[in-house]
Amino acid sequence: MDNAHRVLLASVLTLALVGGFNRAHAQRVDWVSIHAQNDEDVAKRSGLKRSQVKSLRDLAGISDASPDLLERADTSLLATKNVLVLSSYGGSAGCVQFWVFSRADDSFNLVWNMGEAGDEANFCADRRCSLPRVRLKKNLDVVVEIPSFRDGKCSVHSTGKFQWNGAGYTYKGILAVPKSK
């Protein structure tokens, strides 16, 4: 999530905690405009059209009224395999959510979403580090890089792995990242 979106989300959360957030306050937040800008930002970073990002967000079930914003679209395999992964982060803990889509002609189909993996596949940010990053591998596996704070710095020491089984994904657990020499 870029700094502008973090500031916006922090402002909304501050309002919720300090200002007694109620329906009247919630109605004042223009989520439609916020999502339109977020769709534009993700489109610029990913090379997708804004309308495509909006369509993907709709397929993922993130409505214009939702406080959840998109973070990234990994389009690295879109040209060769017609597959992409879209990620978002929710809640104050920055827990990652992701969806895998296939492209057919000029439209997208939802292949799989992280919710299908169950509660054990839950990755949240260490508040001192960046958000977990979702990557699509060439073999169509999905890896969630989980930064953690150790020895005075943030780095990726473990990853969550989701293995492509031809029809969906199987959660393989959290794997340690080998130390580089």
Q: H helices within 61-153, ranges in order?
A: 78-81
156 strand-pairing partners: 147
Of 15-29, 49-63, 97-111, the range with the lowest mean pLDDT is 15-29
Beta carbons of 113 and 155 less than 8 angstroms apart = no
Question: What is the mean predicted confidence (pLDDT) over 105-133?
Answer: 88
Q: Is 22 a residue whose pLDDT tops 60?
A: no
Strands 153-164 and 142-150: antiparallel
What pLDDT is stored for residue 78 in this prediction? Answer: 96
* Domain spans in the chain, listed from the N-terminal domain onward: 3-176
**CA distance linking residue 71 with residue 6, whole number of Å:** 11
Q: What is the pTM of this model?
A: 0.81
**CA distance linking residue 14 with residue 96, whole number of Å:** 21
Percent above pLDDT 70 for the chain: 83
**CA distance linking residue 169 with residue 121, whole number of Å:** 12
- Average pLDDT of the chain is 85
Beta carbons of 67 and 31 less than 8 angstroms apart = yes
